[in-house]
Amino acid sequence: MAYKDEQLHEEKVFKDPVHRYVHVKDRVIWDLIAAPEFQRLRRIKQLGTSNYTFHGAEHSRFNHSLGVYEIVRRIIYNFQDRPHWNKNERLLALCAALLHDLGHGPFSHSFEKAFKLDHEQFTQAIIMGETQVHKILERVEKGFAQKVADVIAKTYEDKLVVSLISSQIDADRMDYLQRDAYFTGVSYGHFDMERILRVMRPTEDQVVIKSTGMHAVEDYIMSRYQMYWQVYFHPVTRSAEVILSRILDRAKYLYETGDFAFKLEPTHFISFFEGKVKLEEYLKLDEMVVHYYFHLWQEEDDAILRDLCERFMNRRLFKYIEFNPNSQMNEWMELHALFEQAGIDPKYYLVVDSSSDLPYDFYRPGEEEERLPIHLLMPDKSLKELSRHSDIVEAISGKKRTDHKLYFPTDKLDEIVDEPVKERIYEILYGQGEIEDVD
C-alpha cells in the first residue's frame, strides 16, 4: 500500500479538553506528530506571557495544532459527499492544518519584533528544509511538501482548501478561541462550534455558511471580539511582554558593544543578535531555553539586564496609564527628559505599547490585509456577505480599535532622590488619570 493511503492498525486518540478526542488514523499524520520539529511545539506556549495574567494559560502550540487538525478533520468528514469538495485534497488539508504554526518561535510576537523575524517564513523553511517533517511529506508523493507549504502560505490553487485554515471563520480561529477560553478560564470565547460545523458548505473557492446558522456565527464573531480585548490585549499580559522585549533589546545591545563579558556565554542567542538565524539554530531556541538564560541573567553584572530579568522571573511588572504619544507629544518628551535626569533609562523603563484589532471586515480589495469576508448561503442559493444580513456584525464591521498604554516601574520612580524631578514625573503621570496596578 502506498504510504499516503496507509492507515494505522487501529485509530489513535489524543484526549483533548476542548474537543474531547483528537482522532488519528492516517500513518502520515501519526508520523508528523512524532517528528522532532512538531514535538518542539510542546515547548512553545500558545499565549506567550498571558499566564502572568491568567495562570491557567500554560497550554502549548502543540495542543492547538492538534486541535486545528481535529476541526479540519471533522469539516472534511461533513464535506465528503458534497459537490465542490475534492476528495484527493483530504490528506493535504489535514497536513496543512496540523503544521500551520510549525514555525512559531518562543514568545512569538516579542521575539519576532526584537529580532525582525517572521514565523511564517520559518514554517515554510521547516516544511521545505532538511527536516523530518519534510522527509515524511515527500514520502506521500514528490512535491507534496511544497503543496502543504502553499496551502499555509495561502497561495495554493484550490482556495477552498486554503479557506479551511485561513479565513475569517477557519479551523485555526475556532480552535484558539475555545482553547484559550478554556485554559484562561474566562467566560468569553465560547460558541457553538458543532452548529457551525453542521452549517458549513463547500463552494468552488471558499467555505460558506448556510443562512440558518447565522446566529451561531454572530456568536463566534462576538467571542473573538471579546477575547481580543479581555484576554489577548490584557494590559497585564502586555506589561510582561514589554519587559520581555526590553530584556531581548538589552542583551542584544550588550552583545553588540563587544566589551561586555556575559558570565554565561549567550550561545543560543548569538545568531539572533547578529541577525542571521539559520533554521537549525532557530529550532534550538524554545521557551525552556529562553527561561534558562533569563534565570541566569538575573546574576549578570549589567544592572538593567539583571533588573529586567528579575522582574520577568518574579512577575514584578510595570504599571501603566492610558497614554497616546501621538496626541501627547509634549508630556511624552518631558517624561523622557525627566527619566534621563533621574538616571532611569527611558529606553527600558518608559515604554508605549499599542494594540489594535479589527473584529470582522468585509472585502476591501487592495488594502494592506485583504480579508475574505464570510458569506451566507441563502435559501435561493445566492451568497450574501455576513455584515449585510446581520445587524450585530454590521455594528462592529470594519471598525479598527487601537489602544495605547504607557508602561513604567513605580518602584523605581519612588527611589528617585531628586524630589522636584520625582514630583514632576508623578504630576504628569497622574495628570493622565489613575495609575493602574498590575497585581
Residues lying near Ca ion in the complex (CB under 5 A) are found at: 101, 172
Q: Which is nearer to Ca ion, 106 or 213 (CB)?
A: 106
Amino acid at site 328: Q
The answer to whether the CB of 246 falls within 8 A of the CB of 321 is no
Phi, psi dihedral angles at 343 (to 5 degrees): 80, 20
Distance CA 244, CA 234 (A): 15
Enclosing H/E stretch for 355: strand 351-357
Residue 386 Cβ vs Ca ion, minimum distance, rounded to whole Å: 22
Place of cell 462576538: 222
Residue 98 Cβ vs Ca ion, minimum distance, rounded to whole Å: 11
Distance CA 151, CA 161 (A): 7
Place of cell 497614554: 323
Q: Which is nearer to Ca ion, 150 or 172 (CB)?
A: 172
Q: What single-letter DSSP state applies at residue 153?
A: T
Residue 105 Cβ vs Ca ion, minimum distance, rounded to whole Å: 14
Q: Which is nearer to Ca ion, 211 or 223 (CB)?
A: 223
The answer to whether the CB of 228 falls within 8 A of the CB of 188 is no
Angle between helices 303-314 and 287-297 (to 10 degrees): 130
Residue 371 Cβ vs Ca ion, minimum distance, rounded to whole Å: 16
Residue 167 Cβ vs Ca ion, minimum distance, rounded to whole Å: 13
From the CA atom positions of the chain, what is the Rg in Å?
A: 24
Task: Give the number of other CB atoms < 10 A from CB of residue 66.
Answer: 23
What would the grid cell of residue 255 be?
552583545
Q: Which is nearer to Ca ion, 99 or 136 (CB)?
A: 99
Task: Give the number of other CB atoms < 10 A from CB of residue 325.
Answer: 15
Coil, strand or helix at 373: coil
Q: Which is nearer to Ca ion, 268 or 371 (CB)?
A: 371
The answer to whether the CB of 27 falls within 8 A of the CB of 6 is yes
Q: Which is nearer to Ca ion, 97 or 438 (CB)?
A: 97
Q: Which is nearer to Ca ion, 357 or 385 (CB)?
A: 357
Residue 299 Cβ vs Ca ion, minimum distance, rounded to whole Å: 36
